[in-house]
Chain A
């Protein structure tokens, strides 16, 4: 796991403003176990996308593929591909979400788990500065979470951006990942 972890890019210290609410639900390893409990191993197979591939994904998914590199693992059992484990991020006006998607080889969603959920207030998440802080960040980097996480009521927050992200990953799978 160690060599994988050091390669994984996750933007964690993205906010200059104080997060109002930040919860870490699962590490990469925990999310892998939750989504593919029967897997014997996870082989990191990061995808580096060309500009054409990114454009094709954006066109087909209707959601922009913003980054070149996508962290992808093969979930395997007995040398067979069980499916793909992909860590992805979505950024909204006030929220920042890291999630894991489990995709089956035939191009279906097996499950989605939120790994990190952050909400800010009083400031928008600016994509440019967020991308900058992302560079070189690894899972090994420590990050702070609010000690007492409140349980939040309020008008229902839409999960549409995560669902769009999953749709984008399905297109990425179809265009770039092998079927076995």
Chain B
């Protein structure tokens, strides 16, 4: 397609979510509205800020008793655990306590902020979740990508075959058309990455300046306590990692693995986990 026929953007998931489809007008409008509704629902279930979300109920109560959750958060937790295990804990959703302690996330009265470890998560039958000890989960590293996948599924169910969903850089393209993709560098410059079709892509950055942190609120912390600029991996900051995968949740999660993995064998490690690392210069062009 030259250009998607219908393109909409809404502020969701803490960023700007764009949905574009190529389809006749009434169908396109209905499908886009429905896909946004899907994302809104995921936002409600997985919000860390909302004390009543499924995620907050897990964080507050699941260390005492199993908590029943929606199927979407259950699936995200399955995906997260899978990547955590396969990456030897480089990807870890149990770092919420540290982010709360640092003031990056709100404190809803969690029982403990110093415990971590993805292995605390137990997924029980019938969509129930238990924590073996009181860790605080955050889905910031995977939920946006997952929301993109769900929005694409919603578009499929409406019969849309060509389009894209982009949640602030976690994007997925589907259909036969090759679309131009670019990466926003820390300087604001836009670097073209060529044309792509039928793929998901995500980019995460580390070592941003305080000013850029306000604009790009992403924050990658290591599971083992070396943060940001203090980390030996980050001596070339700011840096960003862009990963391609079939699904957006995987691309999203694997950018964190890429950011935290040692230089040697990084690409191979991402490939083993189902992604493809794309090298580009982030923010050092100017």
Whether the Cβ atoms of A121 and B166 lie closer than 8 Å is no
Stretch of B60-68, B84-92, B213-221, B268-276 at the chain-chain interface: B213-221
A162, B9: Cα distance in complex, Å: 12
Task: List B contacts of A99 (CB < 8 A).
Answer: 11
Whether the Cβ atoms of B190 and A117 lie closer than 8 Å is no
Q: A25-B8, A158-B15 are in contact. Are A153 and B188 (CB under 8 A)?
A: no
Stretch of A46-54, A69-77, A135-143, A144-152 at the chain-chain interface: A144-152
Task: List A contacts of B202 (CB < 8 A).
Answer: 153
A122, B185: Cα distance in complex, Å: 11
Interface residues of A in 106-132 (CB under 8 A from B): 111-114, 117, 119-122
| Nearest B residue (CB) for A92 | B215
Contact of B169 among A92, A93, A121, A157 (CB under 8 A): A157
Task: List A contacts of B184 (CB < 8 A).
Answer: 119, 152-155, 157
Least distance between B197 CB and chain A CB atoms (Å): 11
Whether the Cβ atoms of B14 and A156 lie closer than 8 Å is yes
Least distance between B195 CB and chain A CB atoms (Å): 10
Stretch of B105-113, B114-122, B173-181 at the chain-chain interface: B173-181
| Nearest B residue (CB) for A149 | B3
Q: A152-B169, A156-B15, A157-B16 are in contact. Are A114 and B180 (CB under 8 A)?
A: no
Task: List A contacts of B205 (CB < 8 A).
Answer: 154-155
Q: Kindly state whether residue A21 has any CB partner on chain B within 8 Å.
A: yes
A25, B16: Cα distance in complex, Å: 13
Q: Kindly state whether residue A159 has any CB partner on chain B within 8 Å.
A: yes
Q: Kindly state whether residue A13 has any CB partner on chain B within 8 Å.
A: no
A94, B10: Cα distance in complex, Å: 18
Q: Kindly state whether residue B262 has any CB partner on chain A within 8 Å.
A: no
| Nearest B residue (CB) for A93 | B215
Task: List A contacts of B9 (CB < 8 A).
Answer: 23, 25, 113-114, 117
Known: A156-B169, A156-B217. 20 other contacts (CB 8 A): A23-B9, A111-B10, A112-B10, A114-B8, A114-B10, A121-B188, A150-B180, A150-B181, A151-B166, A152-B169, A152-B183, A153-B166, A155-B186, A155-B205, A155-B208, A155-B240, A156-B216, A157-B15, A158-B214, A160-B14
A-B contact pairs, 8 of them (CB 8 A): A113-B10, A114-B8, A119-B184, A120-B188, A150-B192, A151-B171, A153-B184, A155-B240
